[in-house]
Amino acid sequence: MNAISPPTILRSRKHTPALILRRATISTHRHFWSAKPAAMARINTSVEDFKKVLASSDRVLALCGAGLSAASGLPTFRGAGGLWRNHEATSLATPEAFAKDPALVWLFYAWRRHMALRAQPNAGHYALAELARRNRNFLCLTQNVDDHPQSQLRMLHGELLDLKCFDGCGYVERHNTSDPLCPALAAAAEDYPPDQTMPLLDPNQPIPDIKVEDLPHCPGCKTGLLRPGVVWFGERLDEAMLREVDDWIDKDKFDLVLVIGTSAVVQPAAGFVDRAADQGATLAVFNPDPEAAAGLVDGDYFFQEDSAKILPLVIEGVTRGAASPS
């Protein structure tokens, strides 16, 4: 189930793998986020036209963000109301924040785990899963932090349900679904009727007093705290995974790139989209925000709708057979 992605900002160069950075900095071709304004481009919004393009496409790349899961009830932490107890989500998603106040950060992530575990996939998720089933040359890059162990998905920002040692001893636990993760975090796993505010989410209510010794500790080194298995700001992405994606993109030209529920400015994901576009791929953006079309050019597609509504429409009835693995 797709969970919330880290906030959409550019990561610093020093945290970008050199292989990715080199290609991003020497490119003089099209940049998705800086192309001519949408008002100047002849952008196609026809569902029927797009179905034909999708049906004729072999290599297809999808980049998914937090907007994909909005219909499943998972907050995106964007715009008005994007705070958690008056904290910016970005201020809690750093190693420094965890070192300073691990109880506060763990309450935030324990609540997110609870939300993700009780959420259900929406129609947009099912549509993408069907596209992956039909086309073996489809690859999805997600900036979300859910747990989807499948061969055609790459988790750029880690996985919310994974745990690892904050002290770096190497201990990792995959797909821990305990909710609450420990008794001290029980306040983050409570359910309330829709007309009631969860006390943990009310900034006027005192936050639970949690001692560090009561938080999850690493069973490997016995001394470090466990932390969520996500990529925080200022941390490196998994370089082996990025190189795998890099090689897959370079293997052959692309026909189509889908940008779903994201503004596509996070590096290195934005660079992957650019490189596919440089190869002549058609771009299709699915986003209710009209500004998301700003980087499109003539012949691209823009659907200003919730992805849970539009993806089933554009993927339904596409009968292209599964392609041979490349």
Give the span between the Cα atoms of 285 and 53, in whole angstroms: 14
Question: In the annotation, is 157 catalytic?
Answer: yes
Given 125, 157, 175, 217, which residue is catalytic?
A: 157
Q: How far is CA 302 from CA 47, 55, 98, 144, in A?
A: 10, 17, 39, 22
Taking Cα atoms as reference points, which of 66, 115, 105, 113 lies closest to residue 85? Answer: 105
- CA–CA dist 174, 164 (Å, integer): 9
Segment holding 153, helix H or strand E: strand 153-155
- What does the alpha-carbon distance between residue 186 and residue 213 come to, in Å, rounded to a whole number? 15
* Residue set of the binding site: 165, 169, 218, 221
Positions at the binding site for Zn(2+): 165, 169, 218, 221
Backbone angles phi, psi at 309, to 5 degrees: -95, -40
DSSP state of 26: H
Catalytic residues: 157
